[in-house]
Amino acid sequence: MSVEEHRKDIETCFGTSCNFCERNCPVYRILRVKTYTCRGKNRAMLGMIDGHYDATERMADVVYTCTLCGACDVHCSMDNTDGFIELRKELVNKGLARPEYKDAVERIEETGDVYGRNIDTSRLFEDANDGEIPMYLGCQYKGNKNEVLDIIKVLAKMGIKVKIADDESCCGYIAHVLGYDDEAADIVDKFKEAFPHENFLTLCPSCTMFTQEAMALNSVHTVKHVHDLVKSGKVKLKNLDMDVTYHDPCDLGRRMGIIEEPREILRAMGVRIHEMENHGYFSMCCGAGGGMLITDPELVEDMAKQRMKQAIDTGVDILVTACPTCESTLLTGSMLARKEYKKRVKVMSIWELLDEALD
């Protein structure tokens, strides 16, 4: 697939110009500049394909100012975000990607970790090396020992004994979405070498999606696995009698359709869900996707605050989610929203609630 192969879709967009895509674009809702909408990006792409102008750094800025959340795709008949990744590849080939992205990809190639840390998972999680089910942590959880140990404890309470790899390596998702495909292929090879499993559990929605789609592996997000156990009656949960709102991580909900599963787990714990204005397939990104955390932290914070305002508007005090990146981003958003709207909404992971609901 190339940018050129998206021509038909882009021309359709040019013809309709319906603008439905801008409605829930988290970037556009902050910046209010139409160039940054999905339609704006498609326009830029068409001009480049038609040879009206060469790609420029300015164009790269527009293309990379996008969380790749897919909210535009659900308002449109086309897969626009696939085209954006193709466009990013072109920009990388032309040397126009932002230098911070190149640095990030080089860090991953050198260390197997998006943050450039050398983490020996065999030592960190030495008590979780003898389970039956392999579990891939991913870069976001790998350095968060206490949270991972808590999740392992919760899973053990349900009879799920996981096995953490000795020295896992980044799955390659970040390099792929930044447009560094050759580098992503090498990173995928290293991932497979360190983690030679076909069937395994995952904790990060993006790792799950990428290992399924790009590598055809049978990865299962652990929330889905837990849901199946809860639904079959094999796991009994206590009634927590709580009111929360649930934030759908883009890759888990919109991309993989795991929308009802976390909600059914929450309901099985006696948790009442008060939906935000945007939820399910029409959920709104926390702001951290698409590599924006690397180059646009302030815009990411604004998007996280925007999402937390929706949580505040539900009237509940707790937001629950099932993605480590959303969790940390929304935590910041919660602090910022508290300052502005004088109301605190606590951000919790679904694992914390499960811990409370299990003996």
Q: Which residues bind ligand SF4 (CB under 6 A)?
A: 13, 16-21, 25-27, 38-39, 42, 66-72, 75-76, 78, 80-81
* C-alpha to C-alpha distance for 115 and 226, rounded to whole angstroms: 29
Rounded least distance, CB 308 to ligand SF4, Å: 17
169 or 325: CB nearest ligand SF4: 325
Q: Element (H or E) spanning 276, and its range?
A: none
67 or 219: CB nearest ligand SF4: 67
46 or 336: CB nearest ligand SF4: 46
* C-alpha to C-alpha distance for 158 and 283, rounded to whole angstroms: 30
Tell me the CA distances in angstroms from 39 to 101, 128, 254, 349, one per residue in order. Answer: 24, 48, 20, 34
68 or 347: CB nearest ligand SF4: 68
Whether the CB-CB separation of 292 and 244 falls below 8 Å is answered with no
Rounded least distance, CB 84 to ligand SF4, Å: 7
Rounded least distance, CB 17 to ligand SF4, Å: 5
Rounded least distance, CB 62 to ligand SF4, Å: 10
Amino acid (one-letter) located at 70: G
What is the DSSP-derived secondary structure letter of residue 259?
Answer: -
* C-alpha to C-alpha distance for 206 and 199, rounded to whole angstroms: 16
Rounded least distance, CB 197 to ligand SF4, Å: 31
131 or 297: CB nearest ligand SF4: 297
Strands (E), the chain: 133-136, 162-164, 199-202, 218-221, 242-246, 271-273, 318-321, 346-349
